[in-house]
Chain A
Amino acid sequence: MTSAVSFKQVSRHFGSVRAVDAVDLEIVPGEFFAMLGPSGSGKTTCLRLIAGFEQPTSGSISIFGERAGGVPPYRRNVNTVFQDYALFPHLNVLDNVAYGLMVKGVGKAERLKAAEEALSMVRLPGYGARRPGQLSGGQRQRVALARALVNQPKVLLLDEPLGALDLKLRENMQEELKSLQKVLGITFVFVTHDQGEALSMADRVAVFNDGRIMQVGTPEDIYQRPKTRFVADFVGSSNVLPPDFVQRYSGQHRWGSLRPESIRVSGATSGDGVAARLVGTNYLGATTRLALDVDGLRLHAMVPAGTALPAEGEAVTLTFNREHLHLMDEPA
């Protein structure tokens, strides 16, 4: 099967900066694919390479089997939802949504009907006559989505589309995007720096760092079985354990990752377990995050709210299921 998007050794350098560095990537048709990484990790440049706003310095990109090299953005069957939405302020909402059809020469009645349908799809029916300036952030987001989807793209690119929304709205939009993608069956490629967003929405996630892909996999893979220290730390702030520490519990001299929620903390200084000292507590609502000190190694544990806790500075004992200690590929 041809990939929706295929990167073969793609690099994009800006002067001496390697924004994207020899990336190989296959995005499966119809999947919800997330590019996750800190700012400056190259994820947005990858998105712009797919859209056609950037051309690779080397390597080749194909979209549904077609070579994309040298093809300008307006001749790619790919549409983008921009981070700042980039709605046209001089057009009303309906004309904004119909813009793509208008420049393709679709007749007025037909394109306005299609635009109206697209607006209903994003649950903004009847908003066509308004100006973008009269809409809230969440509504503009939906208009931008409708404007892209009305063109029936093969791939929809979303550049941090939820970044400007408040928490409640963001959660609603996450669910909506996910169900919209299921209904339409279009390949969605989604850029985000929010690991929670990537894990909850995507079928597969690529974790970026320094212009390279660190790991590609299902959210569970990425979360439970990180391959490198960077992935373990960036996705869900796992405890990264040095090889010496890991050797004591697994017998192997490798870097390890232990999820904060896998650690149990008890006040008693029983013989079994790891002796530690509680150095701080962070109340997060549903859970409490504990900062622990194990002979100079800083670990974090997540315990349900309401758990009886020893006072800060006291000695505690940590226990964890050995199965939860994940050994990483990264060489020690």
Chain B
Amino acid sequence: MRSDRGQSAPLGLKIAAACGLLFLHLPILLIFVYAFTTEEKSFVWPPPGLTTQWFAVTWNRPDVWEALSLSIRVAAISTAIALVLGTLCAAAVSQTRFFGRETISLLVILPIALPGIITGIALRSAFALADIPFSFWTIVLGHATFCVVVVYNNAVARFRRTSGSMIEASMDLGADGFQTFRHVVLPNIATALLAGGMLAFALSFDEVIVTTFTAGQQQTVPIWMLEELIRPRQRPVTNVVAMVVVLVTLLPILLAYYLTRDGDQIAGSGK
């Protein structure tokens, strides 16, 4: 999409692009500003005064810590499950031919194409039917359904670019299945897995809909925020947490982007 000729875009286009970017990102900046406001009951523009006291208040609120810790644990475990299942599935689909391969590929991707509310309702009724009480693990299961997709997509793309005869070469040189996976397959898909895992983590961290349907009394960070907006006290605490969430999700996504961008030299076959 890059212009090769180095020509400058027309002024009108530049202004339109700038407006588009501002429209997308000004509201986020606004949230950051409100984290420093002195007014705690409602959001008033311009802020009547600036303070950093809300950072201290947030630090001392146990409910914030509980929500954050739950979110991080859920995201970490869902990502771990997704890494194992997604990689295995991608390996099966890209390395072998079997009946129904395309169907499996589609079924794996489906949870992310379906609206979250459908996944949520489906899981909730399934848990109810199986008499599974809502717990930490039901949230993890719910999140794993879409985390698998992200890992699978990344891994399957990398597998396709990896020369199949490399695995045969490794076996030919005396490596059994485990050694081949450890010394040849894993190093070649590692960055794809890291990228997929980070995206999965970020997706899980800010997931609302599936969580509402699969959580019991626990509150993940996004759910806690929704509840908090209804309460008229200490509003800027929400904004402080929002800033943290933006940083926690943005950094892995940026990192994932850079890792997969440079992936060519790692995954390119020996041709």
A-side interface residues toward B, CB under 8 Å? 51-53, 72-75, 78-80, 82-90, 99-100, 102-104, 132-133, 140, 147-148, 151
Query: Of B173, B266, B269, which is within 8 A of A99 by CB?
Result: B173
Contacting residue for B188 out of A75, A79, A89, A151, CB 8 A: A89
Interface presence of B90 (CB below 8 A): no
Q: A148-B173, A151-B174 are in contact. List 9 more A-B contacts (CB 8 A).
A: A73-B171, A86-B163, A86-B169, A89-B267, A89-B268, A99-B183, A100-B174, A103-B183, A133-B270
B168 at the A interface (CB under 8 A): yes
Residues of B within 8 A of A78 (CB): 172
B156-173 vs A: 1/0 string, CB under 8 Å? Answer: 000000010110111111
A84-B165, A103-B179, A140-B270 known; A90 vs B187 contact (CB < 8 Å): yes
Residues of chain B within 8 A (CB-CB) of A103 are: 170, 173-175, 179, 183
How extensive is the interface on chain B, given as a class?
20 to 34
Identify which of A53, A88, A151 contacts B168 (C-beta below 8 A): A53
Asked if A132 and B173 sit within 8 Å, CB to CB, the answer is: no
Q: With an 8 A cutoff between CB atoms, is B208 at the interface? A: no
B60 at the interface (CB under 8 A from A): no
Decide: B187 and A51 in contact? CB cutoff 8 A: no
For B168-207 the 0/1 string (1 means CB < 8 A from A) is 1111111110010001100110000000000000000000
Query: A53 contacts which chain B residues (CB < 8 A)?
Result: 168, 171-172
Q: How far is the CA of A132 from the CA of B165 in the complex (A)?
A: 15
Q: Are B184 and A88 in contact (CB under 8 A)?
A: yes
Also in contact, A74 and B174, with CB within 8 A (given A84-B269, A84-B270, A86-B163): yes
Query: Of A80, A89, A100, which is within 8 A of B269 by CB?
Result: A89
**Is A82 within 8 A of B168, CB to CB?**
yes
* Minimal beta-carbon separation of A270 from chain B (angstroms): 58
Residues of A within 8 A of B266 (CB): 89-90
Whether the Cβ atoms of A51 and B270 lie closer than 8 Å is no
Q: How far is the CB of A179 from chain B (nearest CB, A)?
A: 24
Cβ-neighbour of B270 out of A72, A80, A87, A151 (below 8 A): A87
Given the complex, which residues of B lie within 8 Å of A104, measured CB to CB? 174
In the complex, which residues of chain A have a beta carbon less than 8 angstroms from the beta carbon of B171?
A: 52-53, 72-74
B96 in contact (CB, < 8 A): no
With contact pairs A103-B183, A132-B270 given, residues A86 and B165 touching in the complex (Cβ less than 8 Å)? yes
Q: Is B5 an interface residue (CB 8 A)?
A: no
Contact B269 A74 (CB under 8 A): no
Which residue of the partner chain B has the closest CB to A164?
B271
Q: Residue among B168, B172, B267, B270 with the most chain A CB within 10 A?
A: B172
Instruction: Give bound CA distance, A147 to B267, whole Å.
Output: 20
- Closest chain B residue to A159, Cβ basis: B165
Q: Identify the closest chain B residue to A131 (Cβ).
A: B265
Contact B268 A51 (CB under 8 A): no
Closest-CB distance, A266 to chain B (whole angstroms) = 51
For B166, the chain A residues whose CB sits under 8 A away are 86, 88
Q: Once the chains are docked, how many angstroms separate the CA of A147 from the CA of B172?
A: 11
Q: Bound state CA distance, A52 and B168, in angstroms?
A: 10
Contact with A along B249-271 (1 / 0, CB 8 A): 00000000000000001111111
> Does A82 lie within 8 Å of B173, measured CB to CB?
no
A99 in contact with B270 given A86-B163, A90-B187 (CB within 8 Å): no
A-B residue pairs in contact (CB < 8 Å), sample of 9? A51-B168, A53-B171, A72-B171, A73-B171, A84-B163, A86-B166, A86-B169, A103-B170, A148-B173
Let me know if A82 and B169 touch, CB within 8 A. Answer: yes
B163 → chain A, closest Cβ, in Å?
6
**Shortest distance in angstroms between A188's beta carbon and chain B's nearest beta carbon?**
15
> Which chain B residues lie closer than 8 Å to A89 at the CB level?
188, 265-270
Residues in B neighbouring A100, C-beta threshold 8 A:
173-174
Say yes or no: A79 contacts B173, CB within 8 Å.
yes
Task: Assess the B270–A74 pair: CB atoms within 8 A.
Answer: no
Chain B's closest residue to A97 (CB) is: B173
Give complex CA distance A72, B174 in Å: 9
Cα A246 to Cα B267 in complex, Å, equals 59
Contact B172 A73 (CB under 8 A): yes
- Most B C-beta atoms less than 10 A away, residue of A83, A90, A133: A90
Given the complex of chains A and B, what is the CA–CA distance between A80 and B268 in angstroms? 21
Tell me the bound Cα distance from A88 to B165 in angstroms.
Answer: 10
Which A residues are in CB contact (< 8 Å) with B168? 51, 53, 73, 80, 82, 86
Cα distance A148–B171 in the bound complex, in angstroms: 12
How far, in Å, is A288 (CB) from chain B's closest CB? Answer: 38
CB neighbors of A among B218-268 (8 A):
265-268
- For B187, the chain A residues whose CB sits under 8 A away are 90
Residue of A nearest to B166 (CB): A86
Closest 10 CB pairs of A and B: A100-B173, A86-B169, A87-B270, A86-B165, A103-B175, A73-B171, A90-B187, A80-B172, A103-B179, A74-B174
Shortest CB-to-CB span from A135 to chain B, Å, is 9
Closest-CB distance, B189 to chain A (whole angstroms): 10
Q: B99 → chain A, closest Cβ, in Å?
A: 13
Q: How far is the CA of A241 from the CA of B204 in the complex (A)?
A: 76
Q: Is the CB of B271 within 8 A of A84?
A: yes
CB contact under 8 A between A86 and B270, given known A53-B168, A80-B169, A99-B183: yes
Chain B residue at minimal CB-CB distance from A98: B173
Taking each of A82, A88, A104, which has the highest tally of chain B beta carbons within 10 Å of its own beta carbon? A88
A133 to B165 alpha-carbon distance, docked (Å): 16
Q: Residues of A contacting B188 with CB < 8 Å? A: 89-90
**Cα–Cα distance between A103 and B179 once the two chains are bound (Å):** 7
